[in-house]
């Protein structure tokens, strides 16, 4: 009878050992999944940083383009003003030529 009890207790202890091993394996899998999750979050953060840097570069390029556009606009205005001034300077000569043609 004692031998049978020892056998039953041994089987119970073996089952507990198997349960503990499965529990340990599950914890290990859980830890691996957490590590993978952490790596993915790191990659996501790195990608966001790269995206931010690219946006900054784009913003700087846009600002430089805006400066060039402003300079182009100023040059165009100066060109227009000079054109109007040249026409105004030619007006007396054109009037003189017109009067000579008419007489």
Q: pLDDT by residue (tens digit) across 5-21?
A: 899 999 999 999 999 99
| pLDDT at residue 58 greater than cutoff 80 | yes
d(CA 6, CA 2): 6
Q: Looking at residue 52, what DSSP letter applies?
A: H
Domain ranges of the chain: 1-103
pLDDT of residue 51: 98
Say which residue the tokens 């700087």 belong to. 60
Q: How much is the pTM?
A: 0.55
Nearest Cα to Cα of residue 52 among 67, 44, 66: 44
pLDDT of residue 95: 82
Q: Which residue has the higher pLDDT, 90 or 58?
A: 58
| pLDDT at residue 32 greater than cutoff 90 | yes
């Amino acid at each position: 009878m004692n031998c049978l009890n020892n056998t039953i207790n041994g089987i119970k202890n073996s089952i507990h050992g198997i349960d503990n091993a499965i529990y340990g394996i599950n914890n290990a899998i859980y830890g691996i999944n957490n590590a993978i999750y952490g790596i993915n979050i790191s990659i996501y953060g790195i990608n966001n940083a790269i995206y931010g840097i690219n946006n900054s570069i784009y913003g700087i390029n846009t600002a430089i383009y805006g400066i060039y556009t402003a300079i182009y606009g100023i040059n165009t205005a100066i060109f227009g003003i000079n054109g109007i001034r040249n026409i105004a300077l030619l007006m007396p000569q054109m009037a003189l030529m017109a009067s000579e043609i008419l007489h």
